[in-house]
Amino acid sequence: MESKHGAVWQNADVIVVGAGLSGLVSAAEAYNAGRRVLILDQEPEASLGGQAHWSFGGLFLVDSPEQRHLGVKDSAELALSDWLGSAAFDRPEDLWARRWAEAYVNFAAGEKRAWLHALGVRFFPLVQWAERGGYDAQGHGNSVPRFHVVWGTGPGILAPFLSKLEEGVAAGQVQFAFRHRAIELMLDGGTVTGVRGQRLAASAVERGQESSREVTGEFSVEAGAVIVTTGGIGGNHPMVRDQWPNGSGPEHMLTGVPASVDGHFQQAVARVGGALINTDRMWHYPEGIHNPDPVWPNHGIRILSGPSPLWLDATGHRLPVPLFPGFDSLGTLRHLETTGHGHSWFVLNKSIIAKEFALSGSEQNPDLTGKDVKLLAKRALPGVAGPVQKILDAGIDFVQADTAQELAGKMNALVHSELIDPEALHETLMARDRQVTSGLGKDTQINAIREARRFTTDKLMRVVPPHAMLAAEHGPLIAVRLTTLTRKSLGGLTTDLNARVLDAAGSPIPGLYAAGEAAGFGGGGMHGYRSLEGTFLGGCLFSGRTAGRHAAETTQA
């Protein structure tokens, strides 16, 4: 067996299965505690860091200096109320998930920012407001903005942990074994003692690209503790459909994660008794568009929109209140399932797209990812941001026109069906515009836009002043076809607050830990049914830190 650093060890104190963010954090913590750590990953070294590398770098923080500077009044009590209202825990197996939720909110309101700051992580000062909800005070959504973007996006979060592990490699205490695919856990008297798997053929594919599964040999490694950090299922559409609520997932979906996110090793843990729960709880996005420069198969990107575009179903009808852009992802997805069509639409204009459209991902935000202040400053200039303009020009999901009737024709042509009535679309836009020009109005979305502009970040860079959408000076009109985009599993392996994997009776399996998406980010589903956003990377950080520290204690000499 070979790795980048010579023959792969036959034994270690701690084995980490998966080299994404939660795995790297787990490994770094175990190494910090003086343990000898082996990290296994089925992908080549080019994909080190997993999904986190591609992320926008948003983290959920509570009562942060950035919030307070913007006049946002937040607290752990308010955040927990929002979390529980969104999670809607309703199952007996949610016991540990709820405990993880409470622990995570306290972490986000406590040491999380200081811990990351000490590691060198910095934040963009303008906090964003994701998942606004729009229901009552105890319903889904963030009552205040909590989405803090890391300076450097996803790669900026990975950097300190990669640096620490490089130190460990140099010291002979950490080893990476790429192209080593874990297949099963080794047991001795009910205790997990190591991992068996397959060595895969070397691969020169670039980061995120699909790699081969050609097997060249087998391996087995013993350890005092094994931490499972193999992620979710978003790259495995058959598994997504099988686990979809009621077993009827969309026929066509875009893929928001690399193909390696296949969910297979969760089943290996289940075979040794690990309780896999809440698998029907998932977090996919309804605002997916095709990536014109794809990296992995069926590669989609999520549009991060401000609240101004009209969201229409496939037949041109506005979605019900409060299913506006950025308010309730799961509620929107569930509603669109009832329409019988595989797509929906944003309808907007040039003024709205210039200020309100962003794209989720490190590669779509080169200014933040590259920590380029001069490039970032260009966002304040008039016109459409470069990455958005590129996808507006090259993307297959965008159409533009000077009139609503012409736009409807192009929308119908794009989907090869006469689903949109041109005159009805014109009247929908006219009715919306009358609400704006009245100065007051009853349209809930217009009032939500006005309310959003009370928040500094939204007024400066995210929400355009209400205006007549059909006004020529704001044109042309734009329609964007939207498709379901796979992303995250919210269920997973049940873990206690020490990140130990539990069996169906609630007892820990000795020697076995799990973190990140494989554990539902803690407890088998700490988000419940809905995410407040910024909680996936944060969940990897928190559960990975917990698993690494406690696994190190288990293997203490």
CB 214 within 8 A of CB 49: no
Examine the fold and report which residue of 429, 451, 485 is the final residue of a domain before the chain moves on: 485
CB 161 within 8 A of CB 121: no
Pairing outcome for strands 344-349 and 357-359? unpaired
Choice between 384 and 481, residue whose per-residue pLDDT is larger: 481
Mean pLDDT of 175-186: 98
Kindly report the length of the chain.
Answer: 557
How confident is the model at residue 1, as a pLDDT?
A: 34
Per-residue model confidence as pLDDT tens digits over 277-294: 999 999 999 999 999 999
What confidence tier does 368 reach under pLDDT thresholds 50, 70, 90? confident
CB 153 within 8 A of CB 55: yes
CA distance 54 to 173: 28
How confident is the model at residue 486, as a pLDDT?
A: 97
How confident is the model at residue 385, as a pLDDT?
A: 86
How confident is the model at residue 521, as a pLDDT?
A: 97
Residue 231 located in a structural domain: yes
* Reported pTM: 0.96
Q: Check whether residue 392 and residue 471 sit in a common domain.
A: yes
Per-residue model confidence as pLDDT tens digits over 487-508: 999 999 999 999 999 999 999 9
Question: In this structure, what CATH number is given to the domain that contains residue 401?
Answer: 3.90.700.10
How confident is the model at residue 459, as a pLDDT?
A: 94
Residue 78 located in a structural domain: no
Residue 87 located in a structural domain: no
Q: What is the DSSP letter of 287?
A: E
Residue 305 located in a structural domain: yes
Q: What is the DSSP letter of 344?
A: E
Mean pLDDT of 92-120: 98
Residue 31 located in a structural domain: yes
How distant, in Å, are the alpha carbons of 58, 197, 342, 455 from that of 181? 30, 5, 35, 48
Examine the fold and report which residue of 436, 460, 485 is the final residue of a domain before the chain moves on: 485
How confident is the model at residue 557, as a pLDDT?
A: 55
CA distance 308 to 357: 10
Using the structure block, give the residue that is written with the tokens 């595989």.
Answer: 342
Type of residue at 42: Q
209: buried, middle or exposed (CB in 10 Å: 19+, 13-18, 0-12)? Answer: buried
Q: Check whether residue 414 and residue 377 sit in a common domain.
A: yes
Query: What residue numbers bound the domain in which 23 lies?
Result: 11-57+154-281+490-554
- Tokens in use for 278? 């809440």
What confidence tier does 522 reach under pLDDT thresholds 50, 70, 90? very high
Alpha helix ranges (H) inside 283-384: 329-337, 350-356, 366-369, 373-377
Q: Check whether residue 238 and residue 318 sit in a common domain.
A: no
Mean pLDDT of 369-381: 82
Q: Which residues contact 91 (CB under 8 A, 6 or more apart)?
A: 278
Q: What share of the chain is helix, strand, coil (3-state, %, to 5)?
A: 35, 25, 40
Residue 334 located in a structural domain: yes
Share of the chain above pLDDT 70, in %: 99
Rg (CA), the chain: 24
Mean pLDDT of 91-109: 97
DSSP H or E segment with residue 167: helix 153-170
Name the CA dihedral angle for 551, 553, 555, 556, rounded to a multiple of 10 degrees: 160
Dihedrals φ, ψ of 534, to 5°?
75, 5
Q: Check whether residue 517 and residue 418 sit in a common domain.
A: no
Q: Check whether residue 233 and residue 317 sit in a common domain.
A: no
How confident is the model at residue 372, as a pLDDT?
A: 84
How confident is the model at residue 30, as a pLDDT?
A: 98
- Least Cα distance to 39 among 159, 166, 151 occurs for 166
Name the CA dihedral angle for 376, 380, 384, 389, rounded to a multiple of 10 degrees: 0
Examine the fold and report which residue of 444, 466, 485 is the final residue of a domain before the chain moves on: 485
Residue 360 located in a structural domain: yes
Question: In this structure, what CATH number is given to the domain that contains residue 240?
Answer: 3.50.50.60
Residue 324 located in a structural domain: yes
Q: What is the mean pLDDT of the chain?
A: 95
What confidence tier does 2 reach under pLDDT thresholds 50, 70, 90? very low
CA distance 489 to 263: 9
CA distance 85 to 79: 10
Q: Check whether residue 232 and residue 193 sit in a common domain.
A: yes
Diameter of the chain measured on Cα atoms: 76
* Residue 192 in this model has a pLDDT that exceeds 70: yes
Mean pLDDT of 325-330: 97
Q: Check whether residue 526 and residue 476 sit in a common domain.
A: no
Q: What would the DSSP string read from start to end of 175-204?
A: EEEETEEEEEEEEETTEEEEEEEEEEPP--
Q: Check whether residue 214 and residue 277 sit in a common domain.
A: yes
What confidence tier does 4 reach under pLDDT thresholds 50, 70, 90? low
Mean pLDDT of 392-421: 97
What confidence tier does 225 reach under pLDDT thresholds 50, 70, 90? very high
Per-residue model confidence as pLDDT tens digits over 121-144: 999 999 999 999 999 999 999 999
- Tokens in use for 100? 């993880």
Alpha helix ranges (H) inside 33-71: 65-69
Count: domains in the chain: 2
Q: Check whether residue 366 and residue 249 sit in a common domain.
A: no
- Least Cα distance to 519 among 100, 53, 236 occurs for 100
Per-residue model confidence as pLDDT tens digits over 432-450: 999 999 988 899 999 999 9
Q: Check whether residue 258 and residue 186 sit in a common domain.
A: yes
Q: Check whether residue 182 and residue 258 sit in a common domain.
A: yes
Q: Check whether residue 441 and residue 508 sit in a common domain.
A: no
CA distance 161 to 163: 5
